[in-house]
Amino acid sequence: TRRRIRTFIDSGASEHCWVDRPDFVEYTEVEGQQGNSAIAGEAGKFTIRGIGKVKFTTLVAGTPKQIVLTNVKHMPDFGHNLISLSTL
Give the chain's domains with CATH numbers: 7-87 (2.40.70)
Comparison of pLDDT for 52 and 12, the residue scoring more: 52
Q: What are phi and psi of 42, to 5 degrees?
A: -65, -30
Note the pLDDT of residue 14: 87
Amino acid at 26: E
Q: What does the pLDDT average to over 25-48?
A: 70
Please state, in angstroms and rounded to a whole number, the distance separating the CA atoms of residues 62 and 8: 19
Cβ atoms of 35 and 71 within 8 Å: the answer is no
Cross-strand bridge partners of residue 29: 50
- pLDDT score of 20 more than 80: yes
